[in-house]
Structure 1
Amino acid sequence: MEQNQLQPVSFARHKNWRWKRFTSYRFATQKTQSRIVMTEASEIAAAFPIIFQETDLGIEPKALFSLQKKAPNPFVTTDGRWLASYVPAELRCPPFQLARTEYSSHDRHHNVQLLVDETSALLTTQPEDEPFFSDNDELSQNLQDVLRFCSHGPQTTKRRSMLVVDWRRWGYSKPLATTAASNCPPARWQSRRIDWMH
């Protein structure tokens, strides 16, 4: 399978590009986890286990689909249907993703950059599909909507990172070696209410 080739969306590179909304979740067949937007936390918690993962930009809550990295996502059928009761917001953004820069003390959130997977079959040059840019050379309204939707998670990373650090300090997490008779990745943590992994 060809690897994703994520590139920053720019007028110089993508002025004539178009995209179409996906109709299948086959792109998620190898995903074992997904980022969480804080506004969807209750829906995520009702459908999946939640873990916390330490990254260079902070601590992120994620929906866990599987502990087996090479196994197919159990929530995606062979014909691309999604089986769980809820679809995480991150899986509703393809073929776009966000890259997060360092936390800005000036505007109090992470700066974000819109990326596109240039290997995606959702990219076209057909006039009936959605343009990347409008006639006045600005990001199209539909793509602005995608950027706004996908930006909710990165903008809250700093706040939730501070909260999870407090949870660790208060002793709510502990090392976890196995769960449900499965070996866990190294440095995974479990608490009464949350899981922690880095």
Structure 2
Amino acid sequence: MINPELHKQPVALDREKHRNLKVRTELSNLQAAAGLNAFFVTAAEFADACKEYPILFLGAGKDEQGQEQVAPVAVFGVTQGENLFLKADGRWDAFYIPAVLRAYPFTMARIEEDRYAVCFDGAWSGMSETEGKPLFDDKGEPTPLLNEVRQFVEQLEVEIERTRLAGQRLMALKLLAPKRFEATLPNGEPMSVDGFFAVDEERLNALTDAEILELHRNGLMGLLQAHQISMGNMRRLLDRRLAAQAAVAANA
């Protein structure tokens, strides 16, 4: 999955063109997320991500059949371009980092109808032909590093598709609805976040026995529960923002 906000110059990895390409693994690959206030997470990540971030669902257009799509995101900040988890030295201030970010600068992308390729972000400074760990050996064969990368992004692509189908089913069951988060900061300043979907508690409580059984069997009930748990992190996110503002003021 190529995310334009993250992968600025996506390039399909080519055995011949990039035979000498290396990766400077000593550099932080997370700096690319400096301007991201939210980022996609797969359904498989909810159990870990819900302990650190609010998980919201954003509208993602409609599919070929006209069904409304949603994409779950972990929220890093409450204003545009605000990432409260990335430190100035490139460290991430949380135990869990979303998988797509961990894979960066690599990703998987469809280049033909039924053909996918490993891609990398040509804009990342950690790609080099003179320094770092090689992606191909002297014979042009993938190194263990590249094999590991390929395996990771291939599995990630599978999880992305599963997540798309999960969101589609939640929307079909009308379990997600537009929501708004409101809070008042200690200085009296109002804070609101909208434009997202979250679980519809009334609809959830009105599920039939058959629907509840279905959600338990396909894992979607656990997904909704993790999402509900994560919403408690909105308050913690505001506290993190206030702490960051206080630190800036103290150093001014």
State whether TM-score is above 0.5: yes
C-alpha deviations, 1:100-159, integer Å up to 9, x for none?
46886xxxxxx54211122212112236x2112223323322112112112223213333
2:19 maps to 1:15: yes
Aligned AA for 2:168? Answer: V
Alpha carbons of structure 1 residues 85 and 140: separation in structure 2 relative to 1, 3 Å: same
Match of 1:121 among 111, 120, 125: 125
Higher strand share: 1
2:197 maps to 1:189: yes
Q: How does 1:53-132 map to 2 (within 5 A)?
A: 53=58, 54=60, 59-71=70-82, 73-100=83-110, 112-126=116-130, 129-132=132-135
Aligned AA for 2:174? Answer: G
CA RMSD of aligned residues (A): 2.8
Residues 100 and 154 of structure 1 are in contact (CA less than 8 Å); yes or no, is this contact kept in structure 2?
no
Alpha carbons of structure 1 residues 50 and 60: separation in structure 2 relative to 1, 3 Å: same
TM-score (norm 1): 0.76
Alpha carbons of structure 1 residues 55 and 33: separation in structure 2 relative to 1, 3 Å: farther
C-alpha deviations, 1:9-37, integer Å up to 9, x for none?
11232111111214433222112223324
Identity %: 22
Show structure 1 runs of 5+ residues with no match.
Answer: 105-110
TM-score (norm 2): 0.62
Show structure 2 runs of 5+ residues with no match.
Answer: 1-6, 64-68, 184-190, 202-223, 229-252
Higher helix share: 2
Aligned AA for 2:162? Answer: R
Aligned residue for 1:160, secondary structure, equals: helix
Q: May I ask how many residue pairs the two structures share in their alignment?
A: 183
Aligned AA for 2:155? Answer: H
C-alpha separation between the residues in 2 aligned to 1:100 and 1:64? 27
Match of 2:174 among 171, 174, 188: 171
Q: Displacement of 1:179 after TM fit?
A: 4.1
C-alpha separation between the residues in 2 aligned to 1:184 and 1:167? 19
C-alpha deviations, 1:41-82, integer Å up to 9, x for none?
2111111111234267764332221242233x1001122221
